[in-house]
Structure 1
Amino acid sequence: MEPQHWLLLTYKVPAEPAKRRVALWRRLKGLGAVYLQNGVCLLPKTDDHVRRLKMLENDIAEMQGESVILETIALNRSQEEKVMMRFKSDRDEEYREFLDKCTDFEAEIAKETAINHFTYAELEENDVDLKKLQGWLEKIKKLDFYGAPLRSEADERLRACEVLLDTYAQRVFDTHDENRQG
């Protein structure tokens, strides 16, 4: 099996202003980087990641910081698995947050159904919430380089939320049709 190649970024930036340091950290996390320790992170080697890290290298220099980008492989399969597990663990943490929001979405639909509140305004609000969930899951999956264990559960829960909203929408349509006929 071909070893996994990673890009290793090490960097050091001035402590102040903190907002620039935090923005750099957010951008790296937004790429799906795993931090091995402070100022040392890994990403799978792709052309896109090479390009983005080079852009960040320039940003770090503008912050009066220093950085080095290296291509690396693990010493052995066991070390490679450790790194891959870190990536999976980070994604699973995001999937757990996503699943919590699915629970909130389901509870909202259940509450509206329990009180027979079937309005177009509520349907629109819930539709917006579902679109947010769909977009969020796509972002997580884009960074799920190694297939985190909770990915399939997140996919299933999103589908369940979609079905739930479809069912709620039908109740809204039925309710308003009844009002017109009567």
Structure 2
Amino acid sequence: MADVSLHNVSKSFGGNRAVSGITLDIANGEFIVLLGPTGAGKTTTLRLIAGLEKADSGDIIIDGERMNAAGPSERDVAFVFQQYSLYPHLSVYENLAFPLRSPARKMLEADIDARVRKIAAMVRIDHKLENKSTKLSGGEMQRVAIGRALVRDPSIFLMDEPLSSLDAKLRGDLRLELKR
């Protein structure tokens, strides 16, 4: 995990101020939740940390390094979007394995297989590994999206309403797993 700091960060879209002077320090390994009404800037704040949006002002610091100009690939961030963002032509297994097959990772296929199966069991989707993502329920697709973030073991996990499509029991179980 990594330390993340936002110092007086602001972001506007046209005339609409989405984030206004937020200052926030998140310690390595800390688990935090952003709460607020629709339009309060929660998703924009996550997108700023991930590098998917550029701050109009202020500083975004990850592990002591100013990241304002750094792109998403330079931040070692996994982002679970509210919309599932799965590859529809790939199986659940292939969706989970996809980030591990990056040439930069240089992982052995046996290690990829072990990691995919471990994470699939954790998010309780291991019985669907051969299914295409188009054959899954909304809750199953959300679990695959969470698994795809977890499988990478990034420095920062960002999740935008990751548990909203899950039933109450699974939501509670996954909360415990995510805190680990």
More strand by proportion, 1 or 2? Answer: 2
> TM-score, normalized by length of structure 2?
0.25
> TM-score, normalized by length of structure 1?
0.25
